[in-house]
Each structure stands twice: as structure tokens, then as C-alpha cells.
Amino acid sequence: MNKSRDIVEFGDFQTPLNLAKQVALIAINSLGNIRTIIEPTCGLGTFIEALIEIETEFSRKNPTETSIKNIIGWEINPKYVEIVKNNLSVNNKKILISVEEQDFFQVNWSEINHQLQEPVLFIGNPPWVTNSELGKLLSKNLPEKSNFQKFTGFAAITGKSNFDISEWILTKICEQISHTNSAMAFLVKTSVARKVYQNICQNNLLISSMFIRKINAKKHFGVNVDACLFFAKGTTSIINEYLCPVYNSLKASKPCTTIGISKGKLISDIKVYKKLSDIDSGCEFKWRSGVKHDASKVMEFQVTTEGLLNGLGEIVELPDDYLYPMYKSSDISQQELQSPTRKMLITQENIGDDTQNIIKWSEKTWEYLILNSKYFDARKSSIYKYAPRFSIFGVGDYTFKPWKIAISSLYKNIKFTKIGLFQNKPIVLDDTCYMLGFDLEKEADLIFQILTSDIASNFINSLVFKDNKRTITVSLLNRISLRSIALRLGLDTDFERCFFVDSK
């Protein structure tokens, strides 16, 4: 089903009233005293309705008191503004409510700041859409680049090719609440909340009392996205440490983890990380990606009883000289590693090697490459542009090491696998895997023991965010000091002897 243009362009998921009410109550209780509330992208006004209900219930119990004095709603869609205005005319007269057609990216903040009574609570559910999704529609619903760069913290965002519109909106609001008693409470993708948190830390904004409370976006909005309520409150005091507890739900009484920041990087469980932070000092070996060729139809073969079957469905006759047994992510992530059932054509031993030599050593392989050259010549990535024809990447002496420790970049479970030779040939990995290569089995065994220890697993889990598209990245692996883990495991002598003292 095609998403409607409004949903794509304006990230238009209206919040159900009961969810808006729960969020508003949490925000009001967390902020305490509130004079003004701004819903910057108010849509059909659910948050405004929720706030009025809360205030009405409050004044019924406390007839002489009103806490919220003023509610302001902004919305880009004039139809929505009209609907909200019509609905409001019958509502509460104690609170001053104004709903205006307003593009958030055109707000005159200096004028607004003069008029507002503090503390302000910014609340709502900003559009769930990225600038590149908008770009596809040539939408104008984007912040002006010139404005964009004036604000601290935005440089990081503008430099990126893709960011969520809500990230920009929240970052702008962070600047409004920093160094004040105001606060914000927004429903956003959890990944956006983390980016905003990181931005707050990196720019040393005076914002504290942050938290993330996860929500069930499938239940409330019918979308499979990790989403949350992100709350943050301005302060005038110096901040010693930026912390952001994460709760599994709106109602959970205890956080399941606390996000922190170390060396400018986000940490998913700062308490565990602090206990193991010596491990975050760099890997003694270089983690590598598997082989990249962007031509799996003709470079990878299933071994069948009839022969080698390529991705075009052809049985091909190829000598073994340039063929290597291979594993993909799905193979190395299995509970029990099976023997390889696929082969990969490896055209170079090192990046940039002359591929013309293949004709000399293996005429049949060369004929096959020429026959299928259109698949190689059509490869889009710029890396192939000035490289020899039939080039591959992610290849070097490590590719041909007999022993490997590998992990998938695609799967959420953190599983290291030890790989040896198959039919006397090194097994190669595709580019969805990361690996370390070793000459000796005992070296691979030691590294496997280190990486599969509870200490390694706790450390890695303290760094990764399982809801990120990629949990394991090569930069994460290259942060892990295997020596530090070995030391903690009492394997330091073995480690030094194996790799750094010549005793082979």
C-alpha cells in the first residue's frame, strides 16, 4: 500500500488521545511548575486536547488553582489548524489557547522568547520522516540551510546526508531550553532521541533530567519503529555528567539501562561500561570486512551435484584455481557451523592487482569473466571506476589466512565464529562479515576464547544499541582491546606468548 503524500511529506502520524495524555502527565510531573505549553507541530491537536483534560481534572480537584496558563499550537497544515480551532471554541476558558498556522522552520524565536512566560514545556510528536524521504518528493518542508548553520550543533547535522526532521526540531528546542527552567517531551524514534542526547552532550548544553521511555509504536501508530518519549529539562547549574536513563515503557518504575557518553561516543549501558572501560582502548589487530565484489550473480556459486551453479541459474565449468570456499553472514550466524556449500571467485590477492594475468594462469576463468563482463562493467560503486577490470575489494593477505574469527554485520546476535580451512583452502567471507585472520589454529582459539568470554560480551553489550540498523560495525570491533580482556581473564601470558613473543 502506498503511503499518502501527507504521511510521507509531513510525517503525519496523529497521536492517539490516551497516549498523548500519558505522555503529558509524565512531562507535567517531571517538570513541575509550568506556565506555557507549546505544541510545535500540533496536527489535529491531540496533545492540546490531552492537556486541557488534564488541567480540567486538576482544577476540579483544586478549584482555586490553575497550573497551565497558556497553550500554543503550531501546525503547517491549514486544514488541521481550522479543525483544531473549531474544536477548541467549545473548550476550557481558563487557559489562553492559541493555535496558528506556522511552519516550525520559520518561527521567529527572538520574538517568541520575548513574549513567553517561563517555564515552557515543549511537547508533542514531530514528523517521523527523514530529509532524504522528503527530498524524493522535492518537498519544501525542510529547514533553510542558511538558518540551519547559525545554530550550534547543527553543523553535525548538516554535514550528514540523511537526518530526521524531528532531530532538527528537537535540536532547535534544546537550544531554547538550555540554561532555563523549561523542558521538552517528545515522541520520537529512539534513534533520534539518542542523537539529540548526543548533541546535547557534545555542545555542553545546560540540560539535565533527561530520560527515554520506550513506547509501542506498532500498537499506537501501526508502524514497526523503535520509538520513545524523550524528556529533557533545562537547568542553570553546571552539569558534571550527562546521563539518560532508559525505561522499557511509559509506566516502568526502574530504568533498564542508562545511556552515557564517553570519548564523545554514545554508550548504551554506562554503568557496565565504566567497570570495563579499560577494554575500550583499541584492538591489537585490524578487523577487516569480507570480500566485496558487487557481482554475486556471477562471482558466487552454489556447489551442487551437477556442478557449480551461479546466480544466473547456469551450471558453469570452472577450474578450482581462482575459486575459494565461502561463507555468508547467514552461515556464520548459525548455531552450528556447517561445511561451506558455496564458492567465490577471487580475482585478486591484493587490492589493485592486475587481473589480466588471469588469462595466463587460468584460461577458462578468464573466458568466464569475459563472458560475464557486463555484470562487472555495470557495477555502480565509484571504487571500481579506476580499478582493473573484474576487481574486488576487501582482499589482502588476511583473506587467505587459514584461520579466521568472524562475525556478521547483519545479525543482532553477537556471535563470533572460528573458521578453518576447507578442502585445504582458506574459506573466504562475503562483505557482510567482519574477520580477523590467523596463521595458527592456537592463535584463533585464544582469540575465540577471549571474544566469547562473558567479559567481552558484557563490554560489547554496553556499547551497542540493538535497535540500530547495524549493531556490529568494524569501528566498534576495532575499539575492543583483546589484550585487556585477556588480562582480566588471566590469559595475558598466553596472549603475549602467542602474538608478541617469537615462540612459534
Ligand X SMILES: C[S@@+](CC[C@H](N)C(=O)[O-])C[C@H]1O[C@@H](n2cnc3c(N)ncnc32)[C@H](O)[C@@H]1O
Phi, psi of 356 (to 5 degrees): -60, -30
Q: Which of 282, 286, 290, 349 is nearest to 322 (CA)?
A: 349
Q: What is the largest CA-CA distance in the chain?
A: 95
* Site size for ligand X (CB under 6 A): 26
Nearest to 43 by CA among 144, 147, 123: 123
If the CB atoms of residues 39 and 269 are measured against ligand X, the closer one turns out to be 39
Q: Does residue number 74 form part of the binding site for ligand X (CB under 6 A)?
A: yes
CB of 102 to ligand X, least distance (A): 6
CA distance 20 to 49: 9
- What is the torsional sign of CA 484, 488, 493, 498? negative
Interface residue with ligand X among 8, 28, 34, 41 (CB under 6 A) is 41
Sign, CA dihedral 86-89-91-92, equals: positive
Q: Which is nearer to ligand X, 124 or 290 (CB)?
A: 124
**Which residue minimizes CB distance to ligand X?**
43
Cβ closer to ligand X: 36 or 268?
36
> Minimum CB separation from ligand X for residue 166, in Å?
8
- Beta carbon nearer to ligand X, 23 or 295: 23
87 is a contact residue toward ligand X (CB under 6 A): no
CB of 101 to ligand X, least distance (A): 9
Q: Which is nearer to ligand X, 157 or 463 (CB)?
A: 157
- Nearest approach in angstroms of CB 212 to ligand X is 18
Cβ proximity to ligand X, 70 vs 141, nearer residue: 141
The amino acid at 499: F
Residue 148 binds to ligand X (criterion: CB under 6 A)? no
State in angstroms the smallest separation of the CB of 116 from ligand X.
Answer: 18
Q: Which three cell numbers stand for residue 313?
A: 541459474
Residue 168 near ligand X by CB under 6 A: no
* Cell numbers standing for residue 157: 547535522
- Amino acid found at 452: T
Among 10, 151, 230, 273, binds ligand X (CB under 6 A): 10
Closer residue to ligand X (CB): 8 or 395: 8
Amino acid at 105: F
Q: Please, what's the b/e burial string for 438-452 (b: 16 or more CB within 10 A of its CB; e: otherwise)?
A: beeeebbbbbbbbbe
Which of 8, 34, 54, 76 binds ligand X (CB under 6 A)? It is 76
**Could you tell me which of 43, 39, 38 has the C-alpha nearest to residue 12?**
43
Nearer to ligand X among residue 20 and residue 498 (C-beta): 20
List the Cα angle 242/246/251 in 5-degree steps.
135
Residues 348-377 that bind ligand X (CB under 6 A): none
Residue 180: CB minimum distance to ligand X, A = 22
195: its cell numbers = 542523537
Which range in 72-80, 241-249, 279-287, 290-298 contacts ligand X by CB under 6 A?
A: 72-80
| Nearest Cα to Cα of residue 163 among 211, 138, 185, 196 | 196
Regarding 430 and contact with ligand X (CB under 6 A), the answer is no
Burial class of residue 117, CB neighbours in 10 A (0-12, 13-18, 19+)? exposed
Beta strands in 248-306, from DSSP E residues, in sequence order: 257-262, 265-267, 288-289, 300-304
Which string of b and e fits 464-485 if b means at least 16 CB within 10 Å?
bbebbeebbebebbebbbbbbb
CB atoms closer than 10 angstroms to residue 139 = 16
Q: Using the rule CB under 6 A, which residue among 72, 80, 247, 268 binds ligand X?
A: 80
Q: How far is the CB of 12 from ligand X (least distance, A)?
A: 4
Q: Are 123 and 27 in contact (CB under 8 A)?
A: yes
Q: Tell me: does residue 43 bind ligand X (CB under 6 A).
A: yes
Nearer to ligand X, 105 or 422 (CB): 105
Written as one letter, the residue type at 195 is: K
Judged by CB under 6 A, the residue of 22, 67, 70, 77 near ligand X is 77
Q: Which residue has the cell 512566560?
A: 117
- Residues 49, 55, 75, 300: which binds ligand X (CB under 6 A)? 75
Q: What angle do CA 453, 475, 390 make, to 5 degrees?
A: 115
- Closest contact distance (angstroms) between CB of 243 and ligand X is 27
Give least dist CB 178 to ligand X, A. 22
The interface mask with ligand X, positions 98-127, x = CB under 6 A, is: -----xxx------------------xxxx
Which residue, 122 or 390, is less far from ligand X as judged by CB?
122
Of 7-15, 89-97, 228-236, 489-497, which segment contacts ligand X by CB under 6 A?
A: 7-15
Going from the C-alpha of 158 to that of each of 8, 67, 145, 164, 455, the distances in angstroms are 21, 39, 8, 11, 38
- Written as nine digits, the cell of 201 is 552532550
Residue 128 near ligand X by CB under 6 A: yes
**Ramachandran assignment for 321, one of left (phi > 0), alpha (psi -120 to 50 degrees), beta (any other):** alpha
Which segment (42-50, 111-119, 242-250, 286-294) binds ligand X by CB under 6 A? 42-50
Q: How far is the CB of 423 from ligand X (least distance, A)?
A: 56
Among 141, 449, 453, 461, binds ligand X (CB under 6 A): 141
Nearest approach, Cβ of residue 225 and ligand X (Å): 12
Q: Please say which residue, 10 or 230, places its beta carbon nearer to ligand X.
A: 10
CA 69 to chain centre: 39
The residues of the shown chain that bind ligand X, judged by CB under 6 A, are: 10-15, 41-44, 46-47, 74-77, 80, 103-105, 124-128, 141
